[in-house]
């Protein structure tokens, strides 16, 4: 574990995951002491001198124990999927967050940074440069944003109670080297010729290079004190420059020697297919994720990008890694990984 007089004792839930591991590495690099709570052991983190606690977020005793002698919690762990059982989403995303809040209260943890998602305000319409005043929708057609919204509201409501100061970050479409969710799924479907442009192909979206998202977490935590501008607030995080979604995807595919996506279907057709597949999967209790859902159709067809000026103003966020540089790093990583797999 880390170092000097100014070092902080941090707990990172989900610290072995994609974004969580980058946060851990940045904390360690600056000399902070880090504890990770995750479902598995992560040998690569042990090599960094990180204290690992193997436990489930739904275990309140284990979560409370993990919060002992901690000065700041980064609650990154979540179930991020477009399909699954309500019980699973609620248990991990909501009950898990309740347990983290209870653990903070039990041990007098002063600061909590929660990793949310812009999907908590996604209402199936085009969201163009909206800011944090945009309201939560009245309903959701996906359990992930529904449960993340419940959890975010709990975190914000907990600000100022029992000596705890909280904030919520909403990084959008986090990508980069070691991504085990977003980019691999796109590449898999593209290689199998199962990827289609949904809508007119001109929708703009915000993306967030993973190191920029990690930087935002540390910057917010460092400014998070009682009475500060950051306390009790939610923030959109991104590159600050939206991309045309399908141009960005095709740029990645081209650089990896994978054929571009050219075939398209209308948003209405994709949404209808999603509704049917959701019904079939629910009726026959199929565990596999449907190839299309209503939520996914809207995510692929609609514009969703955000005003990040609040994060810039309140805690000095600025995307350090440009999209072009991030893309270079991603492509290099994928090529190296593929080469290693062939050896």
Q: Which residues are catalytic?
A: 144
Give the list of residues 6+ apart from residue 111 with CB closer than 8 angstroms, or none: 71, 72, 73, 164, 165, 166, 221, 224, 225
Q: For the chain, what is the radius of gyration of the CA atoms? A: 20
Query: DSSP readout, 190-216?
Result: HHTT---EETTS--EE--EEHHHHHHH
8 Å CB contact between 116 and 292: no
Spatial separation of the C-alpha atoms in residues 14 and 75, rounded to whole Å: 7
> Burial code of 164-177, b = ≥16 C-beta within 10 A, e = fewer?
bbbbbbbbbbbbbb
Q: Is 137 helix (H, G, I), strand (E, B) or coil?
A: coil
Spatial separation of the C-alpha atoms in residues 145 and 314, rounded to whole Å: 25
| Helix (H), strand (E) at residue 103 | helix 96-107
């Amino acid at each position: 574990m880390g170092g000097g007089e100014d070092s902080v004792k941090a707990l990172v839930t989900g610290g072995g995951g994609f974004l969580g591991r980058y946060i851990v590495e940045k904390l360690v690099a600056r000399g902070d002491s880090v504890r990770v709570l995750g479902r598995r052991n992560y040998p690569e983190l042990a090599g960094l001198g990180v204290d690992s606690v193997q436990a489930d977020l739904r275990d309140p005793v284990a979560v409370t124990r993990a919060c002992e002698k901690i000065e700041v919690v980064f609650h990154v762990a979540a179930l991020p999927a477009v399909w699954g059982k309500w019980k699973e989403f609620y248990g991990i995303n909501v009950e898990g967050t309740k347990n983290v809040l209870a653990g903070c209260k039990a041990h007098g943890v002063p600061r909590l940074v929660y990793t949310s998602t812009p999907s908590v305000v996604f209402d199936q319409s085009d969201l163009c440069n909206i800011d944090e005043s945009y309201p939560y929708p009245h309903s959701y057609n996906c359990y992930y944003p529904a449960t993340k919204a419940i959890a975010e509201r709990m975190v914000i409501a907990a600000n100022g109670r029992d000596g705890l100061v909280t904030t919520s970050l909403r990084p959008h479409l986090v990508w980069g080297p070691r991504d085990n969710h977003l980019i691999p799924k796109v590449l898999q479907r593209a290689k199998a010729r199962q990827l289609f442009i949904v809508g007119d192909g001109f929708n703009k979206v915000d993306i967030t290079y993973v190191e920029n998202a990690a930087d935002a977490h540390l910057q917010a935590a460092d400014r998070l004190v009682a009475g500060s501008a950051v306390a009790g607030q939610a923030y959109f995080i991104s590159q600050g420059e939206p991309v045309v979604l399908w141009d960005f995807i095709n740029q990645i595919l081209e650089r990896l020697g994978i054929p571009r996506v050219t075939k398209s279907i209308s948003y209405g057709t994709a949404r209808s297919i999603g509704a049917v597949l959701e019904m079939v999967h629910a009726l026959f209790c199929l565990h596999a994720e449907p190839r299309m859902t209503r939520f996914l159709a809207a995510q692929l067809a609609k514009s969703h990008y955000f005003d990040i000026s609040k994060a810039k103003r309140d805690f000095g966020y600025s995307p350090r890694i440009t999209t072009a540089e991030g893309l270079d790093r991603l492509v290099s990583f994928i090529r190296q990984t593929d080469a290693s797999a062939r050896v």
